[in-house]
Structure 1
């Protein structure tokens, strides 16, 4: 079976909802034992239960990726019973605003989760992966490569996620550790639905159509489509790929004149 992850252990941050949930379910379907790290452990447990109900293997862990000691405690605890093969750095938060209306508090909050959170998780898994190799996958964004209106702090953080990927790929290639990133455009997740409801009450359908139209392909992406790409990059079929960013954007970057 292609993309077989049987016998492999995957840690997925923010793996209980949205894109992260789709990745958790997809990797589990292909045989991986999935460890879901979430700030909201109920979300992680719900996803874990769904995976177990269909015959998969999953565990839920409460973890704030912004807390260095907490990440080390959780990851090292998992490593006592499992060989760590895959890390998907998916946890992240959004922020809307340009530099003038991004407060210092806003910037620090985005940095703590989207940048330091990735550092914390890579720092925790690398000593384990150096022994037998592994795969690290950072979820970035098209905002890491092209200018997006009112996304100053978010773009900063995703640019950091991208360059951390390059650095880790270079530093640990001789240890058999591969590191890549995925940069989605707009993906239809509950986060998007919540954003439209909060900011455009009564106009959700209209704004959804407008946002979808900004993708040259004419629609938003689906979490499952991102998850399928993640599966490939985490599998042995992608063993010749490292240090590479993979946009999944419906043509946004290349076909919109950026």
Structure 2
């Protein structure tokens, strides 16, 4: 991780869960981190907690379904030297079915989970290529982007399809980067169930954590640090992280 000290990372969905944990960890490793989220008040509190950290945290209020707000964040990033690391973490899960769900929900899930990710990838690639620098893009996918049957019967709407699409988009982008000889690695992290606020929007909510083993946000972030710490000759293209099924009590261990 030493080569990233002083570099700039951008994290979407930074106000809670894996995004918040990623911001904390990267700042503590000495990076400048721009956090994007709608809940600016939460990020302000986080910025105060990180005032004495090795790096620095820059919270920015941003609705990633609005391209203009994303572009404003990248414009600010130029004042810090440009984006070197992108953590495409923002995700939206609306618990209803495709066969009777409103189109507005389709648009929201596609906008957050796929369109925003594509815009952030494009802007990061342009920033790194312009400076002839090194970069790393990490897309937070899901095991649901590998196997639909895992959530069979659950009201997933377009969440699962967008995670499949994010993996496909990563393959396309990796090819584009190779053709243009851009020095940018791209990694898909596909975690299983992670204890975050997201399932709280559903009818089963917190109950899912009582009956299923789960990961903690820091478990996924530890994997981020691992892939970012690989030498220049190594690219981790896909990493699947699943909770151990041995014992639910292990969820409470660190």
Q: TM-score range by the shorter chain?
A: 0.7 to 0.9
Residue 163 of structure 1 deviates from its aligned partner by 1.3
TM-aligned CA distance change 1:180 to 1:41, over 3 Å: same
Match of 1:138 in 2: 139
TM-aligned CA distance change 1:72 to 1:200, over 3 Å: closer
Cα distance in 1, alignment partners of residues 53 and 184 from structure 2: 31
Show CA shifts across 1:27-67 (max 9, x none): 11111111101122212222222222444411111112111
Q: Is the 8 A contact 1:90 1:139 kept in 2?
A: yes
Match of 1:249 in 2: 242
Deviant stretches of 4+, over 4 Å:
none
Q: Does 1:76 align with 2:75?
A: yes
191, 194, 197: which is aligned to 1:190? 197
**Superposed counterparts of 1:82-231, under 5 Å:** 82-130=81-129, 131-147=132-148, 148-149=151-152, 150-173=155-178, 174-192=181-199, 194-195=200-201, 199=203, 207-210=208-211, 212=212, 219-231=213-225
Q: How many residues align?
A: 237
TM score, norm. by length of structure 1: 0.84
Cα distance in 2, alignment partners of residues 128 and 207 from structure 1: 41
Q: Is the 8 A contact 2:29 2:54 kept in 1?
A: no
TM score, norm. by length of structure 2: 0.85
Q: Which stretches in structure 1 are left out of the alignment for 5+ residues?
A: 213-218, 253-258
Q: Which stretches in structure 2 are left out of the alignment for 5+ residues?
A: 246-254
TM-aligned CA distance change 1:3 to 1:144, over 3 Å: farther
